[in-house]
Structure 1
Amino acid sequence: MARVVRFHEHGGPEVLRIEDHDVAGAGTGEVQIRVKALGLNRAEALLRSGRYIETPTLPSGLGLEAAGVIETIGGGVDGFAPGDAVSIIPPISMVRWPAYGELVTVPAAQVVKHPPSLNWEAAAAVWMQYLTAYGALIDIAKLGRQDLVVITAASSSVGLAAIQIANLVGATAIAVTRTSAKKQALFDFGAAHVIASAEEDLEARLKEIAGPQGIHVVFDPIGGPIFEPLTAAMSHGGILIEYGGLSPEPTPFPLFAVLSKTLTLRGYLVHEIIGNPQRLEAAKAFILDGLTSGSLQPVIARTFPFEQIVEAHRYLETNEQFGKIVVTI
């Protein structure tokens, strides 16, 4: 038996319960991990509230990221041993392999020995943010030196990862945040330009920054009315990568901008990278190199103890955080 987090009905953070539960042992190709820290993601709040791409059978566990120590290994697993310090790459299904618990069982293919320089909190905050940003910016958009990239929701963990990756490859990061409250923090973090979209004319500021060159890449989890000013400032042949739908408002299709500039509007899920062994290995190599060199450094917004998982989810939904929310066990 181990303590795990489950929910028996969809709803707000208050539906999360800590329960004693039997955790399946490591089967063929799996490892069992004694968890030290969890990384929280918006996808978990969506699953909990019944708005995620995956529909669970209730009661359900949840969670995509964790770091800890290998307890046992199943048959056919090579390269790992009990006692190894590891972190979890988000699985395709968090319903099948939930991470919120003291003891979790996951496919060995989703487990990485992280650099020893990372503490448990940082190790639990790596893979979702960096894989998401890498897959969009490097794998798909081929972002490179002198490219301009707009990063909306820039103070989220994925937004901050995107700023670091843009700087690592020599691109210019233009961070978009809603108000000026986090503006200086984004400058301090490495954004070349920061725009407060609720206080400034987004299209005018983007055109002022980009000039005739235009914006080559847009990385956006919001959608909604922001599509029009974003595409209006893009370059000929530019690409907008959409990885979320946070806006409650309809998303217009910017027909004339798309036609006149031959733009690509590309939906994207990190599962594209996670589900492809070759692309995943390339991503892991890029991210581990960045972590080892210090070019990529996870930012922890706030840490909660396991017993305060409900409070941690409430904080997740305030959108006040700068970086990743982590829960320690």
Structure 2
Amino acid sequence: MQTARVVRFHQYGGPEVLRIESAEVPEPAAGEVRIRVKALGLNRAEALLRTGRYIEMPALPSGLGLEAAGVIESVGPDVEGLAPGDAVSIVPPRSMVRWPAYGELVRFPAELVVKHPPSLSWEAAAALWMPYLTAYGALVDIAGLGKGDVVAITAASSSVGLAAIQIANRVGAMPIAITRSSAKRAALLDAGARHVVASDEEDLESRLKEITGEQGVRVVLDAVGGPIFEPLTAAMSRGGMLIEYGGLSPAPTPFPLFTVLSKSLTLRGYLVHEIAGDPIRLAAAKAFILRGLEEGELRPVIARTFDFDQIVEAHRYLESNEQFGKVVVRV
């Protein structure tokens, strides 16, 4: 048993409810490893958990966190292929309440721990698995995105959006980045988007149809929902697929019934746990992502880095919508 600093919250609320506390971290049980954390990757899911609006409701006080990178300190019984001293990063668990990542010392199931390329910094390794597994699972595993396809990506400046742009380019598809304003247009083009549409400044349906012509958009990766559903589906090709992995819009999401019927569209909900919880699909995803990293086509984008003692400030920045890429915390 060792004592380490962890982040917990005792009530639901804004970033200010997060506290850094001391906690005892037991030795790893069978099938687990204990990791000395070097960096954390922050996700909107953690802000939702903190405010009581996530898909799981914790007993309070609760830890949180889905992504980390660090060095294995010890391994439990029945763990193969991992050893103390290995540099590793964490595949997001199904429950961050059961397996919270925000801490100096954490325990995780060995099947969720990956030895990452030594060329990655701790910050980049902590920014890796949630965005790239999410984007890979939606675009490659589910939608079968490939050469010549057109994919529209909303919330394109998020870590998942940027990962999706890179993956689309890697498989030969054409990524169209959708963002609210033109402020990030140049950065998105530099990040690999073929086209950028500012949805608050342009007519989204018209611009997508102008870009794609008769081909239309075959795949939409959407994190927003709300009124954007109607112009997105109107610009899709017959037999296209819209994959919804978020719900950033506070407005109701209309179901575009006649567009879905007339084009035989598929509208599908998706969570990264589909991939992370399936050993065969996860192995294929890890191989794709690690190969892309080695070949330089996949590169985690870091928006800003904070120190562990600045976890409240890091969460405030996470919710500011100002970032381009991943928010990371050094431990």
What's the TM-score, normalizing by structure 1? 1.00
1:238-257 equivalences under 5 Å are 238-257=240-259
The equivalent of 1:159 in structure 2 is: 161
User: SS of the residue aligned with 1:22?
Assistant: strand
The equivalent of 1:109 in structure 2 is: 111
**Out of 187, 195, 198, which is 2:197 matched to?**
195
CA distance in structure 2 between the partners assigned to 1:294 and 1:193 by the alignment: 22
What is the one-letter code of the residue matched to 1:244?
Answer: G
**Out of 98, 109, 128, which is 2:130 matched to?**
128
1:314-329 equivalences under 5 Å are 314-329=316-331
Sequence identity percentage: 77
CA distance in structure 2 between the partners assigned to 1:313 and 1:18 by the alignment: 13
The equivalent of 1:40 in structure 2 is: 42
**What is the CA deviation profile of residues 8-46 of structure 1, one whole-angstrom value per residue up to 9, with x for unaligned ones?**
000000000000011122000000000000000000000
**What is the CA deviation profile of residues 151-210 of structure 1, one whole-angstrom value per residue up to 9, with x for unaligned ones?**
000000000000000000000000000001101100111100000000000000000001
Q: Where do 4+ consecutive residues of structure 1 move more than 2 Å?
A: none
What's the TM-score, normalizing by structure 2? 0.99
Unaligned runs of 5+ in 1: none
CA distance in structure 2 between the partners assigned to 1:45 and 1:298 by the alignment: 21
CA distance in structure 1 between the partners assigned to 2:117 and 2:136 by the alignment: 18
The equivalent of 1:69 in structure 2 is: 71
CA distance in structure 1 between the partners assigned to 2:85 and 2:264 by the alignment: 53
CA distance in structure 2 between the partners assigned to 1:118 and 1:78 by the alignment: 23
Unaligned runs of 5+ in 2: none
CA distance in structure 2 between the partners assigned to 1:81 and 1:193 by the alignment: 45
User: SS of the residue aligned with 2:290?
Assistant: helix
User: SS of the residue aligned with 1:72?
Assistant: strand
**Out of 270, 273, 297, which is 2:272 matched to?**
270
What is the one-letter code of the residue matched to 1:323?
Answer: G
The equivalent of 1:10 in structure 2 is: 12
**Is residue 2:93 matched to residue 1:91?**
yes
- The CA deviation at 1:323 is 0.2
Provide the alpha-carbon RMSD of the alignment: 0.4
- The CA deviation at 1:313 is 0.1
CA distance in structure 2 between the partners assigned to 1:190 and 1:80 by the alignment: 35
CA distance in structure 2 between the partners assigned to 1:78 and 1:165 by the alignment: 30
Aligned length: 329
**What is the CA deviation profile of residues 79-136 of structure 1, one whole-angstrom value per residue up to 9, with x for unaligned ones?**
1111110000111110001000000000000000000100100000000000000000
**Out of 36, 55, 58, which is 2:57 matched to?**
55
1:215-254 equivalences under 5 Å are 215-254=217-256
What is the one-letter code of the residue matched to 1:284?
Answer: K
**Out of 302, 305, 311, which is 1:303 matched to?**
305
